[in-house]
Chain A
């Protein structure tokens, strides 16, 4: 007769314990191994975000920064050296080779590098809104902690995503604004302060323009009539790019007709200079000599210059948002990004981790630099705190830094570097010029853009 065992079946407890241990080991193995095999399982390369930087290993990263279109790059370089020195002090085993790329070469060089499988580890273009560059790009979202993700403004996040993933890190945003001579703005019920927080629609804008115009004063003078104006109009409808992140047409025929209608109104409204195609010819002189109540849209450089010039001329200025055509208020503000790449052959997950750490480290320093040198609005929850050097009053500052009201959709798309700029040049700019010159009706403009864009995307890029 077998010996009866006390307390149930301790002989079977051992196998249960073994099974438990084996199961835990399998889970742990799966946790670390799954990212590595997921690509094989589901297709596509997957980077392991949990890889650690080995403090004993030496890493070599490449950083490409496209030189900004600024008159003097020397102050930028000095500040960047400070940031790089801080990095070296914090991560002495991770050396970064820095290249400053001339802007006219940026798209071609990055395209070539990606095609050769050797893009830089980290890439920053201070004048480009492109956030997605295709297969070799590493989605930065996988490296961000939850609080870091929450700290990115929703609009900047929306401008950086493709396929529902955040690919590049938003660094800062550049607003476009209008400038008003408050003494010349006379309209019943019009309160510039209210507009600064709620935004205003194009219809409201034209109403104010007409009421503010008098025999010797224009209600509004645009700073340009070329496709730069169209880009602001498109952003005002919440659709700054012709294609969305999935490379599907974002502009419908109705959208294009609506954009053309804004131009038609501008060209025919009372209270604007003529002829329409040359309305911008003396815009600065008209505003500063107090012969125009409003001027715009202004980029960050022109807003700063014109504000100070207006003060010198005894004008009391106020920044106003560019009118919008969307259902909800939207301000024209586009982001610039830090992007991280991998190379082929792959240099390892810890190498990618090092590159991502460098990008995360660089982000606040770059945001501060852009804010100081170009009055960009940092993509952080409290942008106003970084804009002390701006000369604007409180209400104007709020308009300028209204990050939460920027379109949450990309201003540019990829994957090829400069792709959206090329489409714009081919499909949009020529049609807009013909609309402005009176050669196209709004319907012809809309059809021309759709046809050209279809042709450009089929024959690509």
Chain B
């Protein structure tokens, strides 16, 4: 009798433990934007924006015909296995890193050949608002389209300033998604690109780049030419400039000089962190305004007048 009682108590405890663990188990639907999930069939099914993204890509490639319901269910897993087989991978139905990369590459090649949306006519430029996490396409200074995006996190902010697209690419893959448009930021490699973390869109999550949904960056890509102006606007912590600056230099200090000159009302062209003739002209105009020698070099006097030193 005691033995049966002990067994009964243990069973009861086991049942309670299992129930608790089930309650506190990680949710199968995850919006964790910093986790790469490996999809697999579960009950209930795994769900989320990333699953929608997967279903969308599989449908674009012709492997999936169901609805974009964001649930990793049987039809989705079946479509994934068919893709894996087509791509020469083990058809295990789980969306791991190798399958992710293969899918990204395939979509890239597919989209380039399928791009049919006509680029807008007129002068196009892009404005990225780091506060609102939006990428706005302007054509002839009129808003043409607004896309959500992800920007740099607080420790790796996106480079506020005025840039140009200097490079375009379709096969970067991985975290760069299906498209890449590099910017001419002098102190690092920054660009606008797709993502394999669609849940991060709308947040400050990147290392400074601008992330877009792959479907959005694929749409934007043919509109943008090398040389397209891109303005990134947002809070810019004022940095002190402790040494004189001159023509030919580039960097954050030069950009701070440009921003300060513009704030003071002097025209410097683009705040792109490059000390060219426009910047020199702005400096000499400031010097003339204060009756100083208009050398065009941002010497100690100029830095003091702008409150940078």
Which A residues form the contact surface with B (CB < 8 A)? 69-72, 176, 223-226, 228, 280-285, 288, 297-299, 301-302, 305, 309
Contacts and interface: CB of A to CB of B under 8 A. Distances in A.
Given A69-B288, A301-B290, 19 more contacts: A69-B289, A70-B289, A71-B264, A176-B291, A224-B291, A224-B293, A225-B293, A226-B293, A228-B291, A281-B300, A281-B301, A283-B301, A284-B301, A284-B304, A285-B304, A285-B309, A288-B304, A298-B291, A302-B290
Contacts of A282: 299-301
A301 B305 CA distance: 11
Contacts, number: 53
The prevalent SS among residues of A at the interface is: loop
Given A70-B265, A71-B266, A281 B299 contact: yes
The 9 residue pairs across chains A and B that have the minimum distance between CB atoms: A71-B265, A299-B291, A302-B290, A282-B300, A224-B293, A284-B304, A72-B265, A226-B293, A284-B301
A69 B301 CA distance: 19
A302 B299 contact: no
A224 B300 contact: no
B285 interface: yes
Nearest to A309: B304
A299 B290 contact: yes
B259 to A, nearest CB: 14
A280 B293 contact: yes
Contacts of B291: 176, 223-224, 228, 297-299, 301-302
A211 to B, nearest CB: 26
A432 to B, nearest CB: 12
A153 B260 CA distance: 40
Contacts of B288: 69
Contacts of B299: 281-282
18 contacts: A69-B288, A71-B264, A72-B265, A223-B291, A223-B292, A224-B293, A228-B292, A281-B299, A281-B301, A282-B300, A283-B301, A284-B301, A284-B305, A285-B304, A298-B291, A301-B290, A302-B291, A305-B290
A176 B293 CA distance: 15
Contacts of B301: 280-285
A309 B304 CA distance: 10
Contacts of B264: 71
Nearest to A282: B300
Nearest to A283: B301
B265 A302 contact: no
Chain B interface size range: 10 to 19
Contacts of A297: 291
A305 B265 contact: no
A275 to B, nearest CB: 15
Contacts of A176: 291
Contacts of A284: 300-301, 304-305
A13 B29 CA distance: 126
A280 B300 CA distance: 10
Contacts of A228: 291-293
A205 B117 CA distance: 76
A283 B265 CA distance: 23
B300 A285 contact: yes
Nearest to A302: B290
B307 to A, nearest CB: 10
B188 to A, nearest CB: 31
Contacts of A280: 292-293, 301
Nearest to A73: B265
Contacts of A72: 265
Nearest to B300: A282
Q: Which of B266, B291, B300, B304 has the largest number of chain A CB atoms within 10 A?
A: B291
Contacts of A70: 265, 289
Contacts of A301: 289-291
Interface string B240-284: 000000000000000000000000111000000000000000000
Contacts of A224: 291-293
B202 to A, nearest CB: 36
B299 to A, nearest CB: 6
Nearest to A286: B300
Contacts of A299: 290-291
Interface string B179-205: 000000000000000000000000000
Nearest to A72: B265
A62 B260 CA distance: 37
Given A284-B300, A284-B304, A69 B285 contact: yes
A199 to B, nearest CB: 20
B277 to A, nearest CB: 15
Contacts of B290: 299, 301-302, 305
A225 B289 CA distance: 16
Contacts of B266: 71
Given A69-B285, A72-B265, A284-B305, A302 B292 contact: yes
A283 B305 CA distance: 12
Nearest to A232: B291
A281 B291 CA distance: 13
B196 to A, nearest CB: 47
A228 B299 CA distance: 18
A285 B264 CA distance: 20
A180 to B, nearest CB: 17
Nearest to B288: A69
A70 B285 CA distance: 9
A302 B285 CA distance: 14
Q: Which of A70, A225, A228 has the most CB atoms of chain B within a 10 A radius of its CB?
A: A228
Contacts of B305: 284, 305
B233 to A, nearest CB: 20
A281 B304 CA distance: 12
A418 to B, nearest CB: 16
B218 to A, nearest CB: 43
B257 to A, nearest CB: 15
Contacts of A281: 299-301
